[in-house]
Chain A
Amino acid sequence: EPEVTQTPSHQVTQMGQEVILRCVPISNHLYFYWYRQILGQKVEFLVSFYNNEISEKSEIFDDQFSVERPDGSNFTLKIRSTKLEDSAMYFCASERELRETQYFGPGTRLLVL
Chain B
Amino acid sequence: RKEVEQDPGPFNVPEGATVAFNCTYSNSASQSFFWYRQDCRKEPKLLMSVYSSGNEDGRFTAQLNRASQYISLLIRDSKLSDSATYLCVVTQAGTALIFGKGTTLSVSS
Contacts and interface: CB of A to CB of B under 8 A. Distances in A.
Q: A-side binding surface: helix, strand, loop or mixed? A: strand
Nearest to B38: A43
Contacts, number: 50
B32 A102 contact: no
Interface residues of B, number: 20
B102 A42 contact: yes
B97 A99 contact: no
Interface string A2-23: 0000000000000000000000
Given A56-B96, A99-B32, A106 B46 contact: no
Interface stretch (B15-23, B57-65, B66-74, B87-95): B87-95
Nearest to B99: A43
A107 B41 CA distance: 9
A101 B44 contact: no
A104 B37 CA distance: 12
Interface residues of A, number: 26
A48 B96 CA distance: 7
Given A42-B100, A42-B101, A43-B87, A33 B43 contact: no
Given A99-B32, A104-B45, A105-B43, A33 B95 contact: yes
Interface of B: 31-32, 38, 41-46, 87, 91, 94-102
Given A41-B101, A43-B99, A104-B44, 8 more contacts: A42-B101, A43-B87, A43-B97, A44-B99, A45-B97, A45-B98, A48-B94, A91-B44
